[in-house]
Amino acid sequence: ISIGRSLEERRSIYDSVRMSWRISEDRARSADYILAHKGGIVLDVFIADEWVDSSDERFSRYIPDGHVYNPPRKGFIGRQAPGEILDLYRHTRLPAVKKGAASPIRYLSPQGDFDQ
């Protein structure tokens, strides 16, 4: 997930990557790891323990009062990935974005897609 703009708002990497995304909950749950990247470089890696609506009270400090996303968006509650996973992905470059792609969310297969 690209977090450039959120990170510039002085949020932590975790808070920048965990919400609020237009994403299929089923597809999101199928991801083993969430890679937070800026400019194609992986900054950190997380495991989503739970996917919830962005209206969840745990996100309330980030969403303006009375704001309702339509369609609803999702976010995750999670934790940083274990050290061996961090070592595998952190500071690696993601594959180039396909021409015309605009979504901040991409789904990649493990390992083979990354440049060390």
Question: Tens digit of pLDDT for each residue in 54-67?
Answer: 877 777 676 666 66
Question: Tens digit of pLDDT for each residue in 19-66?
Answer: 888 888 888 898 999 999 999 999 999 999 999 888 777 776 766 666
pTM: 0.82
Measured torsion, CA atoms of residues 73, 26, 14, 56, in degrees rounded to the nearest 10: 40
The verdict on whether omega for the bond into residue 109 sits within 30 degrees of 0, i.e. cis, is no
